[in-house]
């Protein structure tokens, strides 16, 4: 598995665990927690991580293209 995949998995799991821990630690809210609510949190965390990963990949690609453009332009100016 690549480093980026590990980062996505770790971010998703830590977000889910943190959210569930915070929800369970609040005693008055403990009775209001349902399986449906927990599954919604898990799905939302996974969707957020996926969206963040896609945005990161797009920005990385854009940054690479801009860098290559300026490198090519600089090398053409030196010729």
Q: Determine the structural domain holding residue 45 and report its residue range.
A: 3-77
DSSP state of 34: -
Q: Give me the number of domains the chain comprises.
A: 1
Mean pLDDT of 25-30: 64
Q: What angle do CA 75, 56, 41 make, to 5 degrees?
A: 180
What pLDDT sits at residue 62?
A: 92
Per-residue pLDDT tens digits for 44-64: 888 888 888 889 889 999 999
pLDDT band at 1 (very low <50, low <70, confident <90, very high): low
In sign, the C-alpha dihedral spanning 29, 34, 40, 45 is positive
**How far is Cα 12 from Cα 4, in angstroms, rounded to an integer?**
12
Helix (H, G, I), strand (E, B) or coil at 22: helix
Reply yes or no on whether the pLDDT at 29 is more than 70.
no
């Amino acid at each position: 598995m690549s480093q980026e995949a590990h980062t996505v998995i770790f971010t998703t799991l830590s977000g889910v665990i943190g959210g569930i821990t915070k929800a369970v630690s609040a005693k008055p809210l403990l009775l209001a927690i349902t399986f449906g609510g927990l599954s919604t949190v898990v799905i939302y965390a996974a969707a957020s991580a996926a969206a963040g990963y896609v945005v990161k990949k797009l920005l990385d690609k854009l940054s690479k293209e801009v860098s290559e453009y300026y490198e090519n332009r600089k090398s053409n100016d030196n010729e």
